[in-house]
Amino acid sequence: MAGMKILTRRTAFVALVVLAACVELLAALRAQVHASESPAPAQSAQPAQTPVRTMPAYDRPEPPVVAASAASGGTMGVARVIPYDQMPAHALGNGGESRAIANGTLATGESVNLHQSMQPAGATPAAPHVIQHSEFICVREGQLEFQHEVAGKMVSEIAGPGSVIYVAFGTRHAVKNVGTVPARYFVIAIGGDAK
């Protein structure tokens, strides 16, 4: 077990909270996808009773990373929604895409980095690499092959929609889209060099 890092109670608690949030996020996204597949309800002749409030541009939440505030105790800032259109997109060399969601330090001291990625079917994945943080990869759509080192040997596991991959600190790993549609997933990096 040389080289393995032991999780503290606080880190394990934060990991469980992040995992629960990831599961809720996946369920909400799955419901959103299913709702978008259904036809829109027929318009009634009567106007809606409750007016719809739109958020003016000047009242929108801050971008993913905000300056530290005394109230939060970390660099993540205050609780807020991070709209999809405020997540900067980065094109990847294999035709995929990565969107930065948030990064910084939690009020409890852990560094975090959250992004979502899309890997096209048949795309060349990143080579196996070693991380110096812990990661949760929450699969939203598609099929990912999780290749990781166990006792000096590379093993593979398949993760489909709703599955969560845990990548322990110091694990050599790679993920590859083995499905026929683009794989979409969230990566939550905690501690270590997560920035």
Q: Where residue 145 sits, what CATH number does that domain have?
A: 2.60.120.10
Residue at 53 is within a domain: no
- The number of domains in the chain is 1
Cα(45)–Cα(47) distance, integer angstroms:
7
**Using one digit for the tens of pLDDT, what is the confidence trace for 31-48?**
444 333 434 444 444 444
pLDDT band at 74 (very low <50, low <70, confident <90, very high): confident
Task: State residue 195's pLDDT score.
Answer: 73
pLDDT band at 76 (very low <50, low <70, confident <90, very high): confident
- 179 is in which domain, residue-wise? 9-36+88-190
Residue at 3 is within a domain: no
Name the pTM for this structure.
Answer: 0.65
Residue whose C-alpha is closest to residue 170's, from 9, 14, 3, 6: 3
Mean of pLDDT values over 152-178? 96
Residue at 52 is within a domain: no
Check: CB of residue 62 under 8 Å from CB of residue 76.
no
Type and span of the H or E element at 87? none
φ, ψ of residue 90 to 5 degrees: the values are: -130, 120
Say how many C-beta atoms besides its own lie within 10 A of residue 109's C-beta.
12
Residue at 170 is within a domain: yes
For 45, counting Cβ atoms within 10 Å of its Cβ (0-12 exposed, 13-18 middle, 19+ buried), the class is exposed
Residue at 66 is within a domain: no
Residue at 49 is within a domain: no
Q: How many CA atoms lie within 13 A of 107 on its CB side?
A: 8
Residue at 167 is within a domain: yes
Residue at 50 is within a domain: no
